[in-house]
Amino acid sequence: MAKTIEQISAGGIVFRKLDDRFDVALIARTSPRRRVIWALPKGWVEPGETIPDAALREIREETGLTGRLLEPLGQIGYSFYSPEDGARIQKTVHFFLVEYLSGDTADHDHEVDEARWWPLDTALAQMTYQSERQVMEKARHRLLAPTLHQSS
């Protein structure tokens, strides 16, 4: 049986408030079967890096956007077989709610095909992974709650 490697990743939901709605940023990747995957920005926590810092760095790299971390949105887990590692990867991804400060989605890195702002409800319909959709639902709930502290 293949060995299992545990990996910790971090990412987030970057939002901006427009007059009558919230927009959130998603990234697009192409699957091995040439299907477009719309997902949340996320990635590895580097050695010596905190999980929140990793979330902000991954968001910056994958979407071109910088933001202010507001609060944790919980974690998801999934596993897959990695041929390069010859092992099953058991991944835990920590997500955070992040308020957009600056930057442009055109400045995403080469690891993603595209980064794009979506109206929150359209993003929910567009997202590939059910577990990430649940994180987005949680963010939606928080954003629509009257108590969330925002700078704008």
Residue numbers at the binding site for ligand ATP (CB under 6 A): 9, 42-44, 76, 78, 80, 91, 129, 131-132
Minimum distance of ligand ATP from residue 80's CB (angstroms):
4
With a CB cutoff of 8 Å and minimum separation 6, the contacts of 54 are 9, 10, 43, 44, 45, 46
Are 21 and 119 a contacting pair, CB within 8 Å?
A: yes
Nearer to ligand ATP, 118 or 129 (CB): 129
Nearer residue to ligand ATP within complex by CB, 9 or 63: 9
Residues contacting residue 97 through CB under 8 Å, at least 6 positions apart: 12, 13, 15, 69, 70, 71, 72, 73, 139, 142, 143
Question: Taking the complex as a whole, how short is the minimal distance between the CB of residue 19 and ligand ATP, in angstroms?
Answer: 32
How near is the Cβ of 130 to ligand ATP at its closest, in Å?
Answer: 7
Nearer to ligand ATP, 17 or 113 (CB): 113
